[in-house]
Structure 1
Amino acid sequence: MANRQALRELQERLAARMQAAREQTVTANWLAVECAGAGMLFSLKQASEIFAPVPLKPVPYAKPWMAGVANLRGGLYTVIDLAVLLGLRDPGPRVQTAQSRLVALHTDLGLNCALLVDRLSGLRSDAQLPLAADQPQGARPRFAGPMRVDDNGRRWQVIDLEALSRQEHFLRVVV
């Protein structure tokens, strides 16, 4: 008898949670990623597919932040090591872990390019990541958007992928 009552209570709690989930409309705006310990946010309008690590073919005479090229779903993509590009990690032998991911830029940006990140941290909404009260001051690259902060106080840097993809430095991959 006690088991039936416990089962009924469990079902009622699950039904209430499902109803609450239906009534809440949380829209994800951001793909949260980590590079060399730094939290970054990519707009879901500018990022496209996410790929597991694949073998990269090195490109001779390329800048140190160009990891190589990869075949992703039959297309040839330039792969940029975002942590090295941003100066968060020194160039050197690239080690892709099981958590590493390639985030392709959206096709609207007109580049077959993917960014190598250390790991994904999930999808976030504006409501989950309000703007930080203390925004960085001084000269900043065009692609560095505002800082956002989560409930735990962790700061997340918005990266404007369109602005990044239009930078002269980003487009010139040869030494």
Structure 2
Amino acid sequence: MAKRITARVSLREYQQGVMQRLQTATTVAQVDARLGLQIGNDNWLVDLADVSEVMPMPSVTGVPLAHSWFKGVANIRGNLVSVVDLPAFFGQQHQGFTLLARLVLLQPRHLPHASVLVNKMMGLKHLADLEQEALEGTEPAWVGGKYKDAAGQSWKVLDVVKLVNEPAFLQTGIA
């Protein structure tokens, strides 16, 4: 009969080991995970650290003498938040937004009280599951990279910092 050797581990050591593994897994998942969005006809990836909140499209009040891509302002919990139609800002023609449309509130450290409308959420995407592609020289500054998934779909990385620092994005009024 074979002898079984069993190492004894205290409950405290076991719990500490589990907590360390969970913290490591959470850190890796946060670094690797991106929010998948459909903006117009394209798939985009956004760093979770650049997003404050995602919500269904609220009522938006238009602003006179603004570009057509600037939809106006929305009252979000007592704060007026600017709303940009991101597909229109990117120069895409579309018929409007469906019930799947979402308002993505940007982190205030980038631009306070700012949000963008997107066509729909595509879930979390992990960069480890995607294959990086080379950027074309004609891409706007806010395209921070390109990937392809296993199904062959292309994904662009939205560089929120470059987008909100783009002079055209900041100039919502018609001059």
Which interval holds the TM-score relative to the shorter structure?
0.7 to 0.9
Q: TM-score, normalised by structure 2?
A: 0.78
Separation in 2, partners of 1:110, 1:84: 19
Is the contact made by 2:38 and 2:121 (CA closer than 8 Å) also made in structure 1?
yes
Describe the superposition over 1:72-109 as per-residue Cα deviations: whole angstroms up to 9, x where unpaired: 1221110000000001226xxx7332100000111211
Q: Which runs of 5+ in 1 are unaligned?
A: 1-21
Matched, 1:139 2:138: yes
Is the contact made by 1:35 and 1:88 (CA closer than 8 Å) also made in structure 2?
no
Separation in 2, partners of 1:128, 1:47: 22
Instruction: Give the corresponding residue for 2:45.
Output: 41
User: Could you tell me which amino acid in structure 2 is paired with residue 109 of structure 1?
Assistant: H
Q: Which runs of 5+ in 2 are unaligned?
A: 1-21
1:66-81 map, 5 Å: 66-81=70-85
Separation in 2, partners of 1:63, 1:80: 10
Describe the superposition over 1:6-44 as per-residue Cα deviations: whole angstroms up to 9, x where unpaired: xxxxxxxxxxxxxxxx8x946142111002221011111
Instruction: Give the corresponding residue for 1:27.
Output: 29
User: Could you tell me which amino acid in structure 2 is paired with residue 74 of structure 1?
Assistant: G
Q: Secondary structure at the match of 1:162?
A: helix
Separation in 1, partners of 2:51, 2:131: 20
Separation in 2, partners of 1:73, 1:32: 25
Is the contact made by 1:131 and 1:148 (CA closer than 8 Å) also made in structure 2?
yes
Matched, 1:159 2:163: no
Q: TM-score, normalised by structure 1?
A: 0.78
User: Could you tell me which amino acid in structure 2 is paired with residue 124 of structure 1?
Assistant: K
Q: Secondary structure at the match of 2:129?
A: coil
User: Could you tell me which amino acid in structure 1 is paired with residue 56 of structure 2?
Assistant: A
Instruction: Give the corresponding residue for 2:119.
Output: 118
Is the contact made by 2:44 and 2:156 (CA closer than 8 Å) also made in structure 1?
yes
Instruction: Give the corresponding residue for 2:10.
Output: none
After the TM superposition, which of the residue ranges 94-103 and 119-128 deviates more from structure 2?
Answer: 94-103
Cα RMSD, aligned residues only: 1.8
What is the Cα deviation at residue 62 of structure 1? 0.3
Separation in 2, partners of 1:122, 1:95: 21
Separation in 2, partners of 1:136, 1:142: 11
Q: How many pairs does the alignment contain?
A: 148
Percent identical pairs in the alignment equals 29
Is the contact made by 2:83 and 2:115 (CA closer than 8 Å) also made in structure 1?
yes
Is the contact made by 2:111 and 2:164 (CA closer than 8 Å) also made in structure 1?
no
Q: Secondary structure at the match of 2:123?
A: strand
Instruction: Give the corresponding residue for 1:109.
Output: 110
